[in-house]
Amino acid sequence: MPSDSSPQPTAADTSIGAPPSDPSAASTKLDVVCVGNALVDVLASATDQDLEELELVKGTMALVDHVRAAAIYERMGSTTEASGGSAANTAAGIAALGGRAAFLGRVADDVLGMAFTHDIRSIGVAFDPTPTAAVPGKVASGHCLVLVTEDAERTMATHLGVAAEFGAVDLHDGHLGSTQVVYLEGYLWEQAEAKEAMRGAIETAHLNDASVALTVSDPFCVQNHRSEFLELLNGDLEMLFANEEEVMMLFGASSFDAAVDAVTETGVLAVLTRGAQGSVVVTASGTIEVPAAPVGRVVDTTGAGDLFAAGFLYGMTNGLAPEEAARLGGVCAAEVIAHVGARPQADLRALAVAAGLFA
C-alpha cells in the first residue's frame, strides 16, 4: 500500500473550485456536466444459481439486445424501477449535495424516457434532450436489468436502446462551455459515434478552461479500450476514476501498488476506490489513503462508485482538498450501498455536515 507519510497536497495545489458556500446561492457556472447512458434501472433479487443459468458473470455488466433483455426480464422476480445510468447517478449525487449539475444523454419519447427525464429534472439536474421517436418492440429508451444477490453484489444486463445512438447532436455547448468539470462515462466508449462525441466534449471543455474526468466504468471497458484510455491520459484528461481491479488492468500491473506507481507517472489526478478498504487519491504531490466511511449493513452496491465520484467531484469543485473530497465521496457511497437503488435516499448534505466536511 502507498505510505501514509507521502506528502499531503493542499487545496491550493489541486482544488478546482472556490471555497464551499450556500448551495442555493445563484451561480452562472455549473460544477459538473456528466455525459453518459440514460438508463432506467430494473432491480430484482437473484441467486448465484440464477446468474449461472442466465449465463451472467457475477459483479459485471453485459450489453444485451432487445430479445435477450426480454428473456432475462421474464426470469426476474418482483422488480423495482428507478432512473439510473452511471453518469446520471453521479449528476444526481452532485445535485443532492447542493451542486449545479447537468446531464447529457439520449432517451426515446416512451414511458421509460419520460420517467427518466422527469426524475432527473425533479432533483435539480439540467437535462435538455431531443427525444428519439419510439417504436414499440424496436426503438426504446435504455434500461438496465440489475440482479442483486444476497451478498449485495449486483450483476447487470443492459439494453442500451436509443442510448446507444448518443452522438454529437446530443452535446450541449451551453452546458459544456460553462462548467468546471466534464465527467465522461467509460461505457460510452463502446459506441463509435458516442466516442467521437466525447472527443468533441473534451475539446469544448478545454477550450473553455474546464477539466475533464473519465471513469473507466467496468473491467470489460478497460479490456476493450485499454490503449485508447491510456492515450487519453496524455493530455486529454485531468482526472481518472477507477476501482482496484480496473486500474491494475489498465496499466497491466501485477499489484495495486504497481498500478499506483504507474498512474503517478501520468501526472493525472487519479481517484482509486477499493471497496471496504476505502480509496487512494494520487496527486502530483503524493498519494493519500482515505478509509471507507462506516456503514451498518451493505444492502446493494449498485451506484457505489457513481456516488463516490459525485462526492469527490462536488468537493473538488467547491473548495475541498483531495483528501476531504475523497472523504465526502466515501460518505456518499456509504449512503447508497445501505439501500436498494443507485440514487441517494437520505440527505447527503446533512450527512456531509455531520461528517464535519461542511458547516
Domain presence at residue 80: no
Domain presence at residue 331: yes
- The three cell numbers locating residue 337: 450501498
The tens digit of pLDDT for each residue in 157-173 reads 999 999 999 999 999 99
Q: Return the SS3 of 216.
A: coil
The tens digit of pLDDT for each residue in 128-161 reads 999 999 998 889 999 999 999 999 888 999 999 9
pLDDT of residue 166: 96
Domain presence at residue 6: no
Cβ 305 vs Cβ 215: under 8 Å: yes
Q: Say which DSSP state 211 is in.
A: E
Domain presence at residue 345: yes
Cβ 47 vs Cβ 76: under 8 Å: no
Domain enclosing residue 257, as ranges = 11-37+85-107+164-354
The tens digit of pLDDT for each residue in 202-217 reads 999 999 999 999 999 9
Task: Please provide the average confidence, as pLDDT, over all residues in the chain.
Answer: 91
- Mean predicted confidence (pLDDT) in 302-306: 92
Single pTM value for the model: 0.86
Domain count, the chain: 1
What does the alpha-carbon distance between residue 178 and residue 306 come to, in Å, rounded to a whole number? 22
Query: Alpha carbon of 115 to those of 91, 110, 111: distances in Å?
Result: 16, 9, 6
pLDDT of residue 235: 94
Q: CATH number of the domain that 344 lies in?
A: 3.40.1190.20
Q: Pick from 151, 156, 81, 155: which is nearest to 298 by CA?
A: 151
E-assigned strands of the chain?
Answer: 30-35, 39-45, 61-63, 80-84, 101-104, 142-148, 154-159, 179-185, 211-215, 239-243, 269-273, 279-283, 286-290
The tens digit of pLDDT for each residue in 17-73 reads 544 444 443 356 999 999 999 999 888 999 999 999 999 999 888 989 989 998 999
Q: Return the SS3 of 8.
A: coil
